[in-house]
Amino acid sequence: MDKFEKLTGIAAPMPMINIDTDMIIPKLFLKTIKRSGLGVNLFDEMRYDDDGNERPDFVLNKPQYRDAEILVAGDNFGCGSSREHAPWAIGDFGIRCIIAPSFADIFYNNCFKNGILPIALPQETVDLLMKDAGKGANARMDIDLEAQTITTSDGEVIRFEVDAFKKHCLLEGLDDIGLTLEKAATVDAFEAKASAERPWV
């Protein structure tokens, strides 16, 4: 998993509330267990019409937001089923940070396990960031995970809270497997000792 330390990027405004995981990645795309290749189908039913053509009015289809790395969204983002394909699709598209007033718990935790920083902030603060994101590609936000700050395109600094353990994992690029591998030497030592003491096992 890639480390998340600092991010400077375009923020796309998506003020809808209750964006669920089926809207993020519809169920017909859940046949794969690969984390790559899902970005093209992110928000599929909103991005494309029935013939597979892009809907020009959808935010991520607009030229100024095609390379967005930050998403500013409405309340209760990631609700619905617990599919891990949702953060996979978001990450594969290139979005590394989502800012919203609140998130569904399972989706929120899945983001950290997949290198995405979800930031929950009061509605009035999200409204401010939504307005800043509306300025387009020339308005870039800075996210500093170590300092726990967001800097708007106008230079306003906003602090956010994040669980210390989840912060550590993102800063070090550690998913569940990475956390386990950190203990590899301890596990190997235990196995060697157990094998020496109980060779019949």
| Confidence (pLDDT) at 177 | 56
| Confidence (pLDDT) at 147 | 98
Whether 114 has a pLDDT exceeding 80, the answer reads yes
Residue that is written with structure tokens 């290139």 in the block: 94
Q: What percent of the chain has pLDDT over 70?
A: 91
| Confidence (pLDDT) at 13 | 98
What backbone torsions phi and psi does residue 4 show, to the nearest 5 degrees? -115, 110
| Mean pLDDT of all residues in 66-85 | 96
Q: What is the pLDDT of residues 132-178, one digit of tens each?
A: 999 999 889 999 999 999 999 999 999 999 999 999 999 999 976 55
Q: What is the pLDDT of residues 38-66, one digit of tens each?
A: 999 999 999 999 999 999 999 999 999 99
| Confidence (pLDDT) at 192 | 62
Domain boundaries, the chain: 6-173
Q: What share of the chain is helix, strand, coil (3-state, %, to 5)?
A: 40, 20, 40
Cα–Cα nearest to 70, from 101, 103, 100, 34: 100
**Integer distance in angstroms from the first to the last C-alpha of the chain?**
35
C-alpha gyration radius of the chain: 19
Q: Which CATH number among 1.10.1060.10, 3.40.50.720, 3.20.19.10, 3.10.270.10 corresponds to the domain 6-173?
A: 3.20.19.10
Whether 124 has a pLDDT exceeding 80, the answer reads yes
